Structure 1
């Protein structure tokens, strides 16, 4: 076998047991094959076999990959070795969650506008975008209200005075968003959105722009790594806008 062929060969050891198929092993195999490697796929079929393998090679995890006769390591090490995008670090701040939420909300709003009105460029689409965003953000918080309320206490001024507010906030946001999507009970949804949006905007502005604190935002849940700042302020300003606009639209303009 010439050197070029040997460098295109990879040996992969991964757990393939009756009760457990290692997902990172599958990812490693898929990545190697997509990169043009011929994979010698070695299965570790029992816990005892896996433990013996790790002890023999002085490693603490599987899968393990060898390329060109040299051990590369686990899945994250393999990605780095192949020059792939940096592996996600759970502690690294990222705007990806809010970008995903706002993007999906925007497309859903356009879809609703097209289905209900026959056009995507409508005022209703803008209203639905904000209302759907509120609902999706509330879902993120409601997955773990305890965790959300804990992170929320880092900066929300009202929650610091009345801790129970941190538990009520996601429910208020969800109810207001749902009612605004439906265009119902504006007398309830508008004041709720205006209140929590105003308190939130003031709290974020003080924490970030006055106190200059570097915090993580609870806007997408208590395990969020989204930095507290412009995005968080925007969420609250949107709720404030809807809280003011919806009553004007219905009671003043008669729409």
Structure 2
């Protein structure tokens, strides 16, 4: 049952990625929306869920929040170590020649690919959650599946958008989108082999939330506001937050 239900998550993820693909001519709005979706997923989904899954408090601090800080710093350190991102405001905008051709930011692309891989890992955990939910009972599994399916559209949208940052070659983004769509099915299938301790999932979700927050705040939103009308982009970001709020509310 869990594997069959996770097939709906597969379809929703693909739908989200295809939606992001079709509106590439409005890239600043896509990035603004993706930034809002990511902020919403972090604040209204990942952090609350991670705190519910793990009650461990090393040194008096919730374990998922330690993972959250570690995830944020991890992406920052990776970017600095490979000279991906330099914190100068003038570099947020693409460099444009007199003929109007811009060079994509390879740094944003590297960070985006890293975040897209993290999203695939998160989708795998979604599948594990569906499987573990059905192990607890049909009703519990159904509620967990509803929560996963309702936000998988945003996951697919974010995966394709993040993987597309800094480059015009869509093949890596498409490959990661397919991997992200297939990950819940794989996760649900893995639960047929055994169980995963909730104490491990909590800190992981916190780590993933930190990665997403860094990508949204340091890469996607600054690029979305670079050289584009800010009001519409802000509206797109607010819409992304609202979508996650209502999705989480409906799933709850």
Scaled by the length of structure 2, what TM-score is found?
A: 0.31
The structure carrying a bigger helix percent of its residues is 2
Larger radius of gyration: 1
The structure carrying a bigger strand percent of its residues is 1
Scaled by the length of structure 1, what TM-score is found?
A: 0.30
Instruction: Tell me: higher relative CO, structure 1 or 2? Use CA pairs within 8 A at least 6 residues apart.
Output: 2
